[in-house]
Each structure stands twice: as structure tokens, then as C-alpha cells.
Structure 1
Amino acid sequence: MAPYNLSRGISSKLIPVRDLQIHYLEAGDSESPLILLLHGFPELSFSWRKIMVPLSSLGYHVVAPDQRGYGQTRSQNQTASSSPVTFNDDLTPFRMLNLVHDVVALVFALGHTSAALLVGHDFGSMVAAHTALIRPDLFAKLVLMSAPFPGTPSLPFNVSKGPRNAGVGGSYAPSADDLLASFDPPRKHYTTYFASPNANHDMLNANEGLHSFLRTYFHVKNADWRHNDPHPLTDASQLSRLPHYYVMPIDATMPEAVTHMASPHPTTDSESAWLPDDELVIYATEFGRTGFQGGLNWYRCMKDQRFMAELSLFGGKKIGIPAMFLSGQQDWGPFQVPGAFDKTREACPQMKDENVVFVAGAGHWVQQERPEDVVAHLTRFLQSVA
């Protein structure tokens, strides 16, 4: 396994956690209060490289793991040369409750009984939100980045008095597949594509090569791509306004969708200066070695009613700790599901107005595009009175 290209002050380690050998990056004194950083898709612990040392200089133990299915984290009985995760593997380890269990177990494995801050980006935001919801005793504060948390699935309410009434709690958007297929031209949702059997093969074997595909994918979701002009959507009929990396042509693969969007696609570092080629190669090398299926299985579980139904155990429960939402101004992520951002405020009643932040000059990869701004906002939040 190729080492990550790490800055001074960041070390790379392995630790046994449950059924995993978790690989994580670390900065700061391990006896200091913990800050835990959870990446999204298609990312790695490496995605936090620009903010770890600045946060540790404030007096924190900063840890960013490769989460289950990603990077150099692997099963306890798996060697570095073992076969990667496949579509036919057991899906249950990738369900949300098990991902939360990984996070809680990692805190204890690191020698902590609590954490000063839990931060999640992209799909990591969903994991962080559920972790804080289920174990608020372990985390003092929560930051959700780039992806909203609409609350847990609802439970039927007051059914003794007639037909099923509205549920208690939040909900996840129902499948929009039929609606999107009726659009002209017909579309499909990216989560449906990510849950399909061919997504991993398509992305690993993109016509332009894996490195170029990742360059384009990162490019079209960042502030450098001038067509990103996000805004709230009022209802599902407006989903066609989303870029193709969220709402795709129905017959397209993800490489085809993003290459068409960005054509001519970026080829030089100057077009995405925040991700120079010597850093992009880390992503290409790791995903080329492991494939994307581990991360794609998270999306498959999100689409599987078996695993969503068990989360209704927490229907109506709110996140009971101070929270921040932080995203880039050019990021469609907060608005990809109509109404989800508003539900995030409802699910996080301790999220103050000043802690809803949209960083200028940043897109979806905000902690990589504008790390100084992100550190400044996290510092303010850490130092604020609960």
C-alpha cells in the first residue's frame, strides 16, 4: 500500500477496532481532547490533511480514519493484497447502525471516553449526525459539512384513531426514480446509480482512465466549475435543475455524465489548484487498489428498506448537542433533496443561526478548497459557549 503524502505533524497508524484494522491519520497529543473527522465519497482520511495540524495546534488530538470500505482500513483477517470488496459481499456491515458502532468503538480504542468535536463531510455528515443522535453523551459538539441531515425515518403516529397518520420524526426522501424517468430527457438519481451492480466497474474503467475521471469528478463539484449555482428547490419536480453529478441522464455512467458536463474536462493543476496532481494521485492509487464498492455499499444500504427501517427506532429524536452546518457557497449538496436543509435545522435544535455557514469561493470539497476558512469557523465553534 502506497503511503499517503503527509504534511509534517501528521502520522499514519493502524488500530484494531471490532472486526476491522482501521487506518487513521493523527495530529496532536493523544492525551488532548479528541476531534474526530469523518470523510465522505469518494474520499479518504487524506481529505482532512489541510486542517488537521491547525486544529491540533489549538490543543486537540485530531484523528481522521479511513472509514469502513475505504482506503487502508480492512477486515482483521484481510491482508493488504486480499481481494477488494465486491458487489456480492454481505451488505449488512455497511448499514448505518454498524458505521455508527465503528465510530463509537474507535473513540474508545483511541483511549478516549468523549470527544470535543465530531465532524462529518458528505456521507460522513450522515454518519456523524446519527452518531451524535444515538450517543450524545460522547460528543460535546457536532459539525455537519456539505450534506444535510433530515432526521430519522418516521414511525406511524396515533394509528389507534384511524388510518395511519403522519409519522413522528424526520424522513428520508422517497425514491424519485419514477419521476426522474418521466422527465424529458429522462433522468436517474445518482444514488440509484451508485447502488447499481455496474457503478464500481464503470468508474474504475472510465474511458479516460481513473485518474482523469477523478480529476473531472472533483472539478465539477468544486467552486472552479462556473456552472455551479446552487439554490433551494421547492419540490421534486425541480430536480431536473440539479447538475448531472446528482441527476444523471438515464443511460449514462458517472464518468460519461461528468465528462460531458465539464467538456473540455480539466487537465491541468491550475484548474483545480486546491488539488494538485501529486495529491490527486493518492486518491487514484487508493481507489485503483481497493475499488469503489466499499463506499458504494453505503449507498446501497441507504436504498435498502431493511436498514432504513431499523433507524426508525430513533424516530422523533433530536440531536441534543450544539451543532454547526458548514458548506461551500457553490455546493449543491445542501439543496439536493428539497426541504432537507430545513429539516436539518429541526433535527438540530441547538444549531444557532451564526453556526449555519456557507464559505465563499468553495464548492463541495470545502475543507480542501478553503481550509483556512474552515479552520477559522471550527475554531470559533469550539471556543463558543454551549
Structure 2
Amino acid sequence: MPDEPAVSPLPSGIRSRHLALHDLNLHILESSPEINPRPGSSKPHLIILLHGFPELSFSWRKVMPPLSQAGYYVVAPDHRGIGRTTSVNSPAGQISFDDDLTPFCMLSLVKDVVSIVYALDYDHVTALVGHDFGSLLAGYCALIRPDIFRSVVMMSAPFPGSPTLRIKSSPSHLSLGEMAARLQDQLATLIPPRKHYTMYYSTRDANAHLLRPPQGLRTFFREYYHAKSADWVANSPHPLPSASASALAELPHYYIMLRDQTMPEAVMNVRHLHEGVPAWLTDEELSVYVTEYSRTGFQGGLNWYRCATDAKWSSELEVFSGKRIAVPAMFISGEKDWGTYQSPGVAESMKERVCERMEDEDFVLIEGAGHWVQQEKSDAVVENLLRFLGKVEDSFMKGDQTNPPI
């Protein structure tokens, strides 16, 4: 298996290799400082970057070199079932809908990230950064193992915290999966009838729809990335008054879909030929996503949503009910990203309840960016990450007792 992403060469300073982790041959991109800037430390501090869906480790290509130039060892993996990461049970990289879901549940994904840390011969991570679904994974990593993940940055998807422990079955004690199913029923009563994208992504047919869209895979990727970026003028995100079906219907069709639509149909024709190719995602860069997903399919990433919307898998997280993220936390999103508001009240809860140490200045909405913020406005993302990291490391140097020194 070749080590570099297909078609487009990696930016200078980024290398590609594989790590052997329990049942995985895990692909990572890495970027190291030329000189360890911290005298007395045997190796540079580690940052791990977790991508979302439908993305790859390649999505961090613009962020990695400047972070390593600032003195950090930066690693971005392809998640299980995605890109060039393969399992011993699926060496060709193809994942079937009928495969065991256990490796894709949240606790298994957290185990994957912990395993990366140890495989790199580290015992902690200075900052764990997650985007989109990677934000949810980063949040759980920090919640469950604060001894390893010393700070966390969640991007483009606010972290809701662990689900409430159900003492009894009642409308006020529903699992995440049960709540998703109930919302789906309510959305179906709207005119026209709707459905939630996470429930659609959990269906058997979703992979085939995404892999063989009517407009072709390249055009679908271009339209999907455009629809969720700041380039699409129809994106005008704002807080919603409630989580009712009627309020959620205000979200774009790539979140609250028409009941009979596929995702490729939901974003079809959002771009016009005269709009050209954005500088943040060239045709050459787009080819990396098209080539990798055409080879593996989308089922590996879709399995995340299946576990999140199925009560069998979401209920196991109730063991962490009431537990808060104790390490320093940051949230970054694009100002034009509906992802900040797609779950009403979650962003506010993340700041005020779920995270013990998220300062107001560390809830950042970057102007001129949409959902793909680290690709659309990488310079601003790097600037905010380095500002946050500076504060985190200063607090450790001053003897902050809430975390062991790094």
C-alpha cells in the first residue's frame, strides 16, 4: 500500500506512515519540529488532530506544518475504516453494513486514540483537536482520560457531554438513540415531510447513495463541501429557538433533509460553474478525497452515526453521566457554520456545564469560514490554537494543580 495520499503530493514537512495498533494498520500523517524547542525535554510536545466526515487526515494539511514550526510534534490519523487505515479483518479497506459495529462504538474509537499515543511512545498529549465527528471523539477522550489528554479543542460540532443516566423508562429519561428516533417521527409529520441527516446516514442505503451519486462522485464532493462552506451564500446560521421539529426545519437540507431525498440530491446544484474553484480546496486536493473514498466507500464513517443513533451503543456512555471535561477546553468553528447551532442549546451547555475550563475568549467563531474551518481559514485556526496552547502551557509551568505538569 502506498504511503502518500493519492494524486496530490503532501505539503512540505508532512510525512506519511503506518502504525500497527491491535487490529489496525493505522495510517497517520505527521510533522515534526526541526529542533526540540524545550530544553530538558526528551521530545517535543504532541498534538493529535482528529478529522470528521467525510474527510481524511489530509484535511489537516494546512494546519500541521505551522504547528510543527511552532515546536510541536503533530499527528493526524485516518480513522478506522477510512482512508488508508485498514483492519486485519478488512485488509482491502472495504467495510460492509453487516460487519460488527463494536469497533466503531465511541469507547472503541477512544481506545484507538489512546493506542495512538502509546504507539508513538508518549504517555500524554498536550492538545487533542477534533473536527466535526472528530470533535465528539475528542470530547469523550478528554472526558474519559484527562490524565492522557491534557487539553482539548473541539471544532465545528459542540460537545454535548455524556448522556443522562436512565434510572427508569420515561419521556424524560430517553437514550440518545430513542430521542433520535422520536425526532425522526416528528420530522416526518412536517409539510413537506423531513428526516434528520444522522438517521439517514444510519441507513443501509446511505453508502451506495454517496458512493454512486447521480452527479458523479467528484461533483458530489464539490457540491457537498461547497454547501457547508462560507462560499454558499444561503448559509446564514443563527441560534434556533428550540429543538422542536418545526424549529429544526429551518436548518439547510443537508441537515434536515426532505424525507425522500438522498444526500447527493440534497446538495445537488448548490454550486454554479461560474463560481470557480475555491483556493481552500483545489481540484488537485479534491482528487485526494474522491480517490480515497471511491476505493474504500463511506461505510466506515457512516458507522459512527449508526452507533450514535442506536440505543444499544449510545446507552453504554451513560456510565459517564454527570462527568465534566476538567482539562482546558476550546471551541473553534466558522462564523458561517450551521454546525454550531444544529443542536439547540448544546453550545451553551458545553460552555457553561460540560467544560469546567472553557473561557469566553476560547469560544471562537472565525469570520469568513464555514464548516471546513481548518481548510477554509487555516491561518486563523493556527493563530487561535497557538494562543490557546500558550495559555495551557503557561498554566502548567506555573504549577496548576488541576493537571499534572507536562
Using the size of structure 2 for normalisation, the TM-score is 0.89
Aligned partners of 1:152 and 1:172 also within 8 Å? no
Aligned partners of 2:277 and 2:283 also within 8 Å? no
Structure-to-structure mapping, 1:293-332, within 5 angstroms: 293-332=299-338
Please say if 1:205 is aligned against 2:212.
yes
Please say if 1:90 is aligned against 2:100.
yes
Match of 2:121 in 1: 111
Q: Tell me the distance in 2 between the aligned counterparts of 1:193 and 1:266.
A: 26
Instruction: Report the CA distance shift for 1:322/1:32 in structure 2 as closer, same or farther (over 3 A).
Output: same
Deviation at 1:273, TM superposition (A): 2.2
Q: Tell me the distance in 1 between the aligned counterparts of 2:340 and 2:81.
A: 25
Please say if 1:343 is aligned against 2:313.
no
Match of 2:11 in 1: 7
Q: Tell me the distance in 2 between the aligned counterparts of 1:153 and 1:218.
A: 30
Deviation at 1:349, TM superposition (A): 1.7
Deviation at 1:344, TM superposition (A): 1.2
Q: Tell me the distance in 2 between the aligned counterparts of 1:199 and 1:44.
A: 19
Percent of aligned pairs sharing the same letter: 51
1:266-320 deviations in Å (ceiling 9; x for gaps): 4478342210000000000000000000000010000111111110000000000
Instruction: Report the CA distance shift for 1:257/1:164 in structure 2 as closer, same or farther (over 3 A).
Output: closer
Q: Tell me the distance in 1 between the aligned counterparts of 2:110 and 2:117.
A: 11
Match of 2:364 in 1: 357
Match of 1:57 in 2: 69
Q: Tell me the distance in 1 between the aligned counterparts of 2:285 and 2:253.
A: 25
Match of 1:245 in 2: 254
**Residue of structure 2 aligned with 1:174, choices 179, 184, 187:** 179
Match of 1:148 in 2: 158
1:161-206 deviations in Å (ceiling 9; x for gaps): xx97967xx9789221011111111110000110001111011111
Deviation at 1:78, TM superposition (A): 4.2
Report the AA paired with residue 382 of structure 1: L
Please say if 1:366 is aligned against 2:368.
no
Report the AA paired with residue 194 of structure 2: R
Aligned partners of 1:17 and 1:109 also within 8 Å? yes
Aligned partners of 1:231 and 1:332 also within 8 Å? yes
Aligned partners of 1:154 and 1:316 also within 8 Å? yes
Aligned partners of 1:150 and 1:172 also within 8 Å? no
Specify every segment of 5 or more residues in structure 1 that has no aligned partner in the other structure, as ranges.
none
Aligned partners of 1:143 and 1:325 also within 8 Å? yes
1:57-96 deviations in Å (ceiling 9; x for gaps): 11111000001111000013543xx261011111111000
Using the size of structure 1 for normalisation, the TM-score is 0.93
The two structures, once aligned, show a CA RMSD in angstroms of 2.0
Q: Tell me the distance in 2 between the aligned counterparts of 1:356 and 1:106.
A: 28
1:329-371 deviations in Å (ceiling 9; x for gaps): 0000011011111121110120000000000000000000000
Q: Tell me the distance in 2 between the aligned counterparts of 1:180 and 1:354.
A: 36
Instruction: Report the CA distance shift for 1:214/1:266 in structure 2 as closer, same or farther (over 3 A).
Output: farther
Aligned partners of 2:201 and 2:302 also within 8 Å? yes
Aligned partners of 1:215 and 1:266 also within 8 Å? no
Match of 1:383 in 2: 390
- Size of the aligned set, in residue pairs, is 376
Q: Tell me the distance in 2 between the aligned counterparts of 1:110 and 1:138.
A: 13
Specify every segment of 5 or more residues in structure 2 that has no aligned partner in the other structure, as ranges.
37-42, 396-406
Aligned partners of 2:177 and 2:308 also within 8 Å? no
Instruction: Report the CA distance shift for 1:78/1:179 in structure 2 as closer, same or farther (over 3 A).
Output: closer
